[in-house]
Amino acid sequence: MGNYGSRRERHLTSGPYRAAVPAFIAHQSISLNDELQALAEEAATELTRFDVEVGHITAPFASILLRTESASSSEIENLTSGARQIALAELGEHASRNARLIVGNVRATQAALELSDSIDTQAVLRMHRALLEHDDPNIAGRWRREQVWIGGRSLGPHTAQFVPPHHDHISGLIDDLIVFSNRVDLPVMAQIAIAHAQFETIHPFIDGNGRVGRALIQAMLRGGRLTRSVTVPVSAGLLHNTAEYFEALGEYRSGNVEPIVRSIVDASSAAIANGRHLVRDLESVRADWRTRVKARRDSAAHRLVDLLLRQPVVDSKLVASTLEVTGANAQIAIDRLVDAEILAQITDGRRNRIWQAKDVVRVLDEFAARAKHRRG
């Protein structure tokens, strides 16, 4: 370290430092004030209602909401990308690094949902592996073996805003968190918020802690039976006021659990409102498209409409494999939607062509813009 930084910086970052020593919470009781308790119960009811109403719609909204949650969670970490770039990354085409990382977050959240019936240490490691296995395989799915810190200078933890526990404590703290997360005697929303805050306090990975911690929220919503069909984009609700969210995490580390519970409850309510708006917009797009497509309702062209709602950027290979038609019939379906002005080619020439459904990209970008609009 002596070769880097000014003399003053070297002085500030030398000697011992204090790392957090989080309390064990496996058997912690939760007591909220009456108002917050009522808000948490109302949020739980609304989450279930949203899951039921959207889950019954015959459209691929589950995958759309999963993507919006993953994009919003990534944006909290300043990893931003438009819907078109994310769709290109999912297609496997050239896209920005941020878009690729967001697709990694989609995989992590999907893993969280698949593992929600049995949340254990291996489930958490699998979420992290799914998040980073393509972009940082050396650390993917492994607890950190070094000190990390949040904020402050890059030279060391001495001036950091928060220094997570020493890595020797991670295993015991995670085991304790798993016991807490699987209890069935606690108010679910409060339990989820506290488990999330404890995970962020432990900070068990070198990178990806925030995204995995918010994937844990989705796993616990599913495991707690508040959601069963769709992903409620809670992270989009947190984007309304990220400063408040980070302050709530700081309050939790000081022993005050109510701010983080309120933050997650408020974010859930905002996410439901924004999610309903998104679903209405996409249903409107689909209804408009149906009137434009001049083909039988069971045709490949109409089935392509549903594909575009969840994957608004396609090539002929994806269309053929998803619709289980020949390459020639896939191209016929694409051409019909081009004629209907639903699809537009976004590449040059006749080789390796890619098409975009601009209406869906617009709706998804509008969702993201609403998520960033601060309340009040």
Q: What is the pLDDT of residue 1?
A: 40
* Same-domain pairing of 116 and 170: yes
pLDDT tier for residue 2 given thresholds of 50, 70 and 90? very low
Query: pLDDT by residue (tens digit) across 167-209?
Result: 999 999 999 999 999 999 999 999 999 999 999 999 999 999 9
How many angstroms separate the first and last alpha carbons of the chain?
A: 45
* Same-domain pairing of 303 and 263: no
Q: Which of 250, 276, 302 is the endpoint of a domain?
A: 276
Distance CA 355, CA 282 (A): 18
Query: pLDDT by residue (tens digit) across 74-103?
Result: 999 999 999 999 999 998 878 899 999 999
* Same-domain pairing of 88 and 163: yes
Q: Which of 218, 242, 276 is the endpoint of a domain?
A: 276
* Same-domain pairing of 305 and 197: no
Domain count across the chain: 2
* Same-domain pairing of 161 and 220: yes
* Same-domain pairing of 46 and 90: yes
- Can you give the residue range of the structural domain that contains 247? 31-276
* Same-domain pairing of 89 and 217: yes
Tell me which residue of 8, 69, 28, 370 sits closest to 193, measured CA to CA. Answer: 28
DSSP 207: S
* Same-domain pairing of 257 and 320: no
* Same-domain pairing of 250 and 103: yes
pLDDT tier for residue 298 given thresholds of 50, 70 and 90? confident
Distance CA 115, CA 354 (A): 34
* Same-domain pairing of 146 and 182: yes
Full-model pTM = 0.91
User: At residue 316, does pLDDT exceed 90?
Assistant: yes
Classify 14 as helix, strand or coil.
coil
CATH number at residue 339: 1.10.10.10
Mean pLDDT of the chain: 92
pLDDT tier for residue 6 given thresholds of 50, 70 and 90? low
Distance CA 86, CA 190 (A): 32
* Same-domain pairing of 226 and 349: no
Residue 227 is encoded by which pair of tokens? 């959601």
CATH number at residue 88: 1.10.3290.10
